[in-house]
Structures are given as structure tokens and as C-alpha cells.
Amino acid sequence: MKTVSFFCLLLLITAHLPGQNPASPMPRIINENGRHTLLVDGTPFFILGGQAHNSSAWPAILPEVWQAAEKLHLNTLELPIYWEQIEPQAGQFDFSLVDTLLTQARAHKVRLVLLWFGTWKNGSNHYMPEWMKRDAAKYPNIVGEKGDWIDSPSPHSEAAQQADTKAFTAIMHYLKNADPRHTVIMVQVENEPGAWGSVRDYSPAAQKLFESPVPAQLLTAGVLDQLPHEASKGSWREVFGKHADEYFHAWSVASYIGKVAAAGKKEYALPMYINAALRDPLSNPSPNTYESGGATDNVLAIYKAAAPAIDILAPDIYLSGNEKVLKVLELYGRSDNPLFVPETIPSRVHAKYIYSVLARGGIGFSPFGIDDNGRDSPDSVIAARLAAVGQEYRTLAPMMRELAKWAFEGKITSVVEDEDHGQQTIDLGSWQAIVKFGGFGRGDGLPPNPQPAGKMMIVRLSKDKFIAIGTHSRITFKPVGKDSGRPWQYLKVEEGHFENGMFKPLRILNGDETDWGGPYFGNKPQVLQIALTLR
Ligand code: DGJ
């Protein structure tokens, strides 16, 4: 009896050695009370990511990509895999590139998110293999309202959907055997699906479906409550009125991808997501002005109903300005949708939103286009592109597991500098943190930051003890609630970094470093452990 227990224990232990055992736990997303985390090797993981340019996942360009990945200090690289390369002839698969990506990622000790450039890429069919492009009758595009040719594949083509399912399933099957260490932690299914240039497909086949009853999956209270509607059953026009065309296309595209993803997941159940080209989140624009049928904020309920195998609907954030960007984070971080930003502008200003994603309990963040794209740019140009996010990742990477756990537990709050550079506050229970943004100086007379790139993230360790991480800002505190107005002081302010899950102080900040309006955070992100006391 004792011997059996011992062996069971041994099995359990070896099954959880990260990256060493074929039985290492599958990456997966868990949801507890509407909060999410991505488990990698069995524990919370935050994707400090970077995405290569579209045509960079080729052996000739990969050295440039790895150079950028190193400079960025990322832990996860997002790389496309191309249908046209993987299935050059119908039914003949070539996974040599997948092998190359796996081998190189392991050598660099980096995880991968693979991006399946399948039926849709930026709303078009451009990554379909040649044998499909040559057969437009079998693999058609959608048709515009006036019968015009639209550069977007039809979600109503059974042949295309079956071909995509076959290829995607083959990839997932291959990965299952080739990647027992789970170097690949997530897969993006298609790329920014939907259509530019037409709100939906007006082909005769699509028109017939459009005039048919709305499918039952959309007619539940849970879904209808999230969508403006005029009736609870009937044709698309009867139920959804002026939104019918867009909702029909969203349903059609999401159902197609949902089938592809479900088949792939049955083979190998990695977390899967769809990325979205966004619409303006504030102005409720007309669907003619954005990519219709994609997972835009107004159709998330349709995507959830049509594609349950997809874990995340993820916003590609190329918008600017706090009002818009923070609204996008609010719209996509839902109790039924983990927050993940798979693409954004690699700028100093956009880097601040890593803090917003963490504070909203998100699972990852990734700038797009990290490599030089074969352009042989001067080193200074490359360094400038990677500097802002690189210095963030460099600071956050050693404490990534802690951050992921705190994000999951809802212990992180953050503020990011507004365009008017105004001060902001953070509610910490019995304390309020006051964050001012600006350059060096004493007290209030801070010169403004040249760009609104300042940020502050605070982790509540206990009632009076915090970790604060920030740049371009100054922080101070005041007691609130029953102790409001009472005198207080810093018990200890330590600057340091995390190592093996522990805060390692480098020095105690005191005197000029804390006396004149609170600790100052400069250009380089600093990690402070701050203890406060009432007097
Ligand atoms: C969004 C797409 O998803 C990416 O693949 C890339 O095309 C970017 N746009 C930037 O061009």
C-alpha cells in the first residue's frame, strides 16, 4: 500500500516538472468568479509578448525576429503560420516551418503563440493556397450589394470551411505530437476575419439564409439582451432591423471559425482566440466604416454564441488616446471573455497600457511588428522601436508569475497618464494614492512629460504595504475612511526587483528621494516596496 502511494506521488511530481516531461500540464485558461488566468506549466502566466511582421516567420528572416525578441525581453513570441506554405498541394502537408519555429523558440527559451493565417487574413483570402485561389467557383468570395466583387472569402462556402478545418486539424494533430513541452501556449484562429467593402455577403446563397429564421442559438435571453432587437424570432431583418446585415455576417463568419476551432481543439485543446480589427468604441459608427463581421465590440455576444470553442475575442489596438483605448479594454475584458491584447502599436505611449491590462486582470499584451521586416534599418531605428516596451518587459519579466497571480486575484490597480497630464488617484482601501505625471523636480512644479507616457501600477500586499511600479510620475498617499486627515509617514520605501518570487531590495529610499512630494519614478520603470504608517 505504502509503495503504491509513493509511486503515485512520484508520478504526480514528475508530471509537473515544467518543460521536461511529456505529461507537463496543458496550457489552459481558467475562470473563477468571472476572473481569468492563463495557466502555463500549471501556474498563472502573463504574456509579455511581441508579434513579428506578417512575412517574417521564414528561416531567412527569423534571425532578425529573434534579435528583436531578445531586445524586447519578451516571454512569448507571436508568429504566423501560413496555409499557402503548410498545404501547397491539396491534402499534402508540410510542417517543416512549424518544426523550425518550435526548435528555435525552445533554444531561445521563449513560448509561442501561433497565428493561423487561414481563410481570413485582414478580411481577405490572401493566404489560401494557390490551388484554392485558382478555383474561385469552389472557394468563392462574398458578393457586394450591387453584385460587385469583394476581396473577402465567403463564410458560406462549405468547401472552404471543410478545407480549412482539415488543414487546421492537421496542424493541431501535428503540434500535439511535436510539442509535448507546450512551447506553443495558444493559437489564433484566422486573422482579423470579416469583410472590408461590404457589410455582408449578398450572393443568392447568402440571401436565402438571410431571409431564413435567425438560428435558435441567438434567440436566447442571454444573447438577445446584449443586442438591440425588434422581435424575438423571425428573419434576420425582422429580429435585428437595421443591424441585421452586420449581425448576419458576424454570425456567418463566427460560425465558420467556430467549426474550424472546435475540430482543431478536439485534436489538441490549446487555448484559442480570434483577433479583431476594431471599430471606434465611442461613436457607434456605421458598419461600412470598419471591418464588418469581425469580432467588434457590438457583436461579441454573437461570436460567443456561434463559436464556443474560441476562448478569447481579442482586440488589436491601433487606436490612440486614453478614452478610446481604456474603453476597448473595458468592452473586451468581460466575465465571459479574458482580456488579451494580441496586437498594438510598439510606442512609448501604448506601452503604458500593459499596466491597464494587468489591472483589469488580463492575460497578456503584445506590440505588433517587432522585427525589422528585412529592411536593414540602422540600429538606432531598431533600438528606438523596441526601447519603450523592452524596458517595461525587462522590469516585469522577473516578476511575471507574481504579476499574473496578482492580476488573477484582483490585487493590481493602475493609472495611465491622460493627454492633459492631470493627476489621478488610486483607491487602496484605507489609503488613497495620488499620482502626478511629470519630469524631475520638487513638489508640484514638475515640467510636463513630453508625451502622455507616464504610468503607475500598485499591488496591494496588505492593508498598509504595497508594491508600486511606474515611470514618469511621482506618488504620494493619504489615509482615507475613518483615518482621513490623520498624520502619516513612510515606514519604509525600498527600491528593488523580484527574484524567485521574492522582493530583493537594492536600497532604502529616504531623504530627498521621498521627502519632496513622494517617491519619483523616472524614465526607467522602478519597482518600490512601500510601507506606510499612521502617526
Ligand atoms: C492587423 C493584423 O492582424 C496584422 O497581421 C497586421 O496586418 C497588422 N494589422 C498591421 O498591419
State pLDDT tens for residues 370-427: 999 999 899 888 888 899 999 999 999 999 999 999 999 999 999 999 999 999 999 9
- pLDDT score recorded for residue 393: 98
Name the pTM for this structure. Answer: 0.95
- pLDDT score recorded for residue 440: 56
Locate the ligand 1 atom nearest the alpha carbon of residue 275 and give its number: 3
Give percent of the chain above pLDDT 70.
Answer: 94
Locate the ligand 1 atom nearest the alpha carbon of residue 277 and give its number: 1
Pocket test for ligand 1, best of 116, 196, 343 (most atoms within 8 A of CB): 343
Residue 485's Cβ-count burial label (10 Å; 0-12, 13-18, 19+) is: exposed
Give me ligand 1 centre to Cα 384, in Å. 21
Tell me: pLDDT of 4 over 90.
no
Q: Measure the CA–CA gap between 423 and 448, rounded to whole angstroms.
A: 11
Mean pLDDT of the chain: 94
Pocket test for ligand 1, best of 54, 273, 371, 373 (most atoms within 8 A of CB): 54
Q: Which of 318, 350, 329 is nearest to 416 (CA)?
A: 350
Tell me: pLDDT of 13 over 80.
no
- pLDDT score recorded for residue 310: 98
**Superfamily classification of domain 414-534:** putative beta-Galactosidase from caulobacter crescentus (2.60.220.20)
Q: Dmax over Cα atoms in the chain, in whole Å?
A: 79
Q: Are 505 and 496 in contact (CB under 8 A)?
A: yes
Tell me: pLDDT of 439 over 80.
no
Q: Are 389 and 50 in contact (CB under 8 A)?
A: yes
- pLDDT score recorded for residue 376: 87
- The dihedral built from the CA positions of residue 398, 491, 427 and 450, taken in this order, carries a sign that is negative
- pLDDT score recorded for residue 101: 98
Give me ligand 1 centre to Cα 508, in Å. 45
Give me ligand 1 centre to Cα 191, in Å. 8
For the chain, give every domain's residue range.
Answer: 41-204+253-398, 414-534
Tell me: pLDDT of 327 over 80.
yes
Q: Grid coordinates standing for 508?
A: 532604502
Tell me: pLDDT of 492 over 70.
yes
Tell me: pLDDT of 477 over 80.
yes
- pLDDT score recorded for residue 9: 34
Q: Which of 470, 439, 441 is nearest to 456 (CA)?
A: 470
- Shared fold status for 41-204+253-398 and 414-534: no
Q: Measure the CA–CA gap between 436 and 417, rounded to whole angstroms.
A: 9
Q: Are 254 and 313 in contact (CB under 8 A)?
A: no
In CATH, the architecture of 41-204+253-398 is Alpha-Beta Barrel (3.20)
Pocket of ligand 1 (CB under 6 A): 54, 122, 191-192, 275, 316, 343, 368
3-state class (DSSP) for residue 113: strand
Question: Facing residues of 469 across strands?
Answer: 457, 527
Give me ligand 1 centre to Cα 56, in Å. 13
Q: Tell me the chain's radius of gyration from C-alpha atoms.
A: 25
Cβ contacts of 201 within 8 Å, gap of 6 or more: 142, 143, 154, 155, 156, 195, 249, 252
Locate the ligand 1 atom nearest the alpha carbon of residue 115 and give its number: 5
Under the banding of pLDDT at 50, 70 and 90, the label for residue 441 is low
Secondary structure string (H, E, C) spanning 141-170: EEECCCCCEEEEECCCCHHHHHHHHHHHHH
Give percent of the chain above pLDDT 90.
Answer: 90
Tell me: pLDDT of 47 over 80.
yes
- pLDDT score recorded for residue 140: 98
CA-nearest residue for atom 8, ligand 1, is 368
Locate the ligand 1 atom nearest the alpha carbon of residue 54 and give its number: 5
Give me ligand 1 centre to Cα 122, in Å. 7
Give me ligand 1 centre to Cα 435, in Å. 35
Please give the torsion angle defined by the CA atoms of residues 24, 27, 30 and 35, in that order, rounded to the nearest 10 degrees. Answer: 120
Under the banding of pLDDT at 50, 70 and 90, the label for residue 446 is low
CA-nearest residue for atom 5, ligand 1, is 54
Locate the ligand 1 atom nearest the alpha carbon of residue 80 and give its number: 5
Tell me: pLDDT of 337 over 60.
yes
Give me ligand 1 centre to Cα 45, in Å. 25
Q: Measure the CA–CA gap between 311 and 302, rounded to whole angstroms.
A: 14
Q: Measure the CA–CA gap between 292 and 352, rounded to whole angstroms.
A: 29
Tell me: pLDDT of 256 over 70.
yes
Give me ligand 1 centre to Cα 521, in Å. 33
Helices (H), 116-271: 130-133, 158-178, 204-211, 221-224, 236-240, 244-267
Q: Grid coordinates standing for 194?
A: 470579416
Locate the ligand 1 atom nearest the alpha carbon of residue 369 and give its number: 10
pLDDT digits (tens, 9 = 90+) for 50-83: 999 999 999 999 999 999 999 999 999 999 999 9
pLDDT digits (tens, 9 = 90+) for 78-132: 999 999 999 999 999 999 999 999 999 999 999 999 999 999 999 999 999 999 9
- pLDDT score recorded for residue 385: 84
Q: Grid coordinates standing for 286?
A: 456605421
CA-nearest residue for atom 9, ligand 1, is 122
Give me ligand 1 centre to Cα 311, in Å. 21
Locate the ligand 1 atom nearest the alpha carbon of residue 191 and give its number: 3
Q: C-alpha distances in angstroms, 522 versus 111, 119, 393, 397, 449?
A: 31, 46, 16, 19, 10
* Long-range contacts from 493-497, C-beta under 8 angstroms, 24+ separation: 493/519, 493/528, 493/529, 493/530, 493/531, 494/528, 494/529, 494/530, 495/526, 495/527, 495/528, 496/527, 496/528, 496/529, 497/395, 497/398, 497/399, 497/527
Q: Measure the CA–CA gap between 423 and 438, rounded to whole angstroms.
A: 10
Tell me: pLDDT of 15 over 80.
no
Tell me: pLDDT of 180 over 70.
yes
Give me ligand 1 centre to Cα 138, in Å. 27
H or E element in which residue 469 lies: strand 465-471
